[in-house]
Amino acid sequence: KSTLLRILAGVESQDRGVIERGKNLRISYLPQESMADSAEETVAGYLRRVSGIAALEAELAELEMRLGDEKALSRYGELRDLYDHLGGFSFDRKARLAIDGLGLRRIASDRKLSEMSGGERRRLSLAGALLEESDVLLLDEPTNDLDLPAIFWLERFLRKTGSAVIVASHDRAFLDAVSEKVLELDWYFRTARVWTGNYSTYFKEKSEELRREHDEKVRAEEERARLRETAEEKLEWARKGAEYRMPDKDKMSQGFHRDRSQQKQGARARALHTRADHVKKVTLAPERDRFSVFFEPETGQGTGVMLSAATGGYD
């Protein structure tokens, strides 16, 4: 999943195929491992840079010196529209709301990145991606390092954003809250399939589909076995017919019955084998081995609670 997001973001090249992106498409990307940025950069400086606001303000200031030039004036108008779209005049307020919402309320805007912990920098990276106001938002495990209030704030933000959001996450509750479609990458058949609905809807429908396919495979195998068994019975009847002896020892009549029996039963047997070969073959992906971890209890004092990873419960 991470590789797919990196390819979509243009960070990594695909092995084959073509990636088509719309003209002027703006993409924001939050990787799992984030922030190899200047440690001396401040929180405010980082957010203004990654959002593109700082670069826009610098270019607008440069163009203001050349507004007598028609090309410069046209470019200035384009950038000013983009600046307004990104909320440039209210950016500091929006940045503060994002920082506070993601649990960095105590972090001052002039604080340096070098003074922040890894978890705080990860949250700041997420804030920067959200503030870009992009057309497509790619988020790889965005709930890592977030507490519940921050996760709830992020869920509300993503439900309201006008950006298309593609998210990879192991947090099922989060996926249920924000997803409208699920992209399934089949590890066995090497196919991709889109399901409508959140993760719980996908999981239920996928489970029902797998059950139906399993039942269909069982029925097909039973039908195939029945047809082949019947075909073998027909062949056995053909062999018995070939050994049939008429009571009056009429060799001509005996030969007639023998040939007729062999032809008739043989033809039926061949037809049944053909039908058996044409019964739909249902191929199921092999089931993966369940991940199980067993913990041996230690003697001595303890809480009396043991986590069973095999069942996902408490014993």
pLDDT tens track for 279-297: 667 666 677 677 677 777 7
Residue 274 has pLDDT above 90, yes or no: no
Of residues 96, 59, 51, the one with CA closest to residue 79: 59
pLDDT of residue 132: 86
- What are the residue ranges of helices labelled H in 131-198? 148-160, 172-178
Task: Of 19-23, 116-120, 178-182, give the range with the top mean pLDDT.
Answer: 178-182
**β-strands 136-140, 164-168: how paired?**
parallel
Query: 308: part of which helix (H) or strand (E)?
Result: strand 307-308
CA distance 43 to 234: 84
Residue 105 has pLDDT above 50, yes or no: yes
- Look at the alpha carbons of 251, 253, 258, 260 in this order and tell me if their dihedral is positive or negative: positive
Residue 143 token pair? 């709930």
Write out the two tokens for 122.
Answer: 């990860």
**CA-derived radius of gyration, the chain:** 34
Of the listed ranges 69-73, 147-151, 193-197, the one predicted with least confidence: 69-73
Q: Is the pLDDT of residue 306 over 90?
A: no
**pLDDT at position 169, please?**
93
Cα–Cα distance measured from residue 13 to residue 122, given in angstroms and rounded to the nearest whole number: 25
Longest dimension (CA), the chain: 123
pLDDT one-digit tens code per residue, 172-197: 999 999 999 999 988 888 888 999 99
* pLDDT over 60 (residue 74): yes
Identify residue 94 by its one-letter amino acid code. K
| Nearest partner of 116 among 41, 54, 50, judged by Cα | 41
Q: Residue 224 has what pLDDT?
A: 77
> Alpha-carbon distance 94 to 42, whole Å?
17
Element containing residue 87 per DSSP (H, E): none
Per-residue pLDDT tens over the stretch 77-99: 888 988 887 788 889 999 999 99
Specify the pTM: 0.72
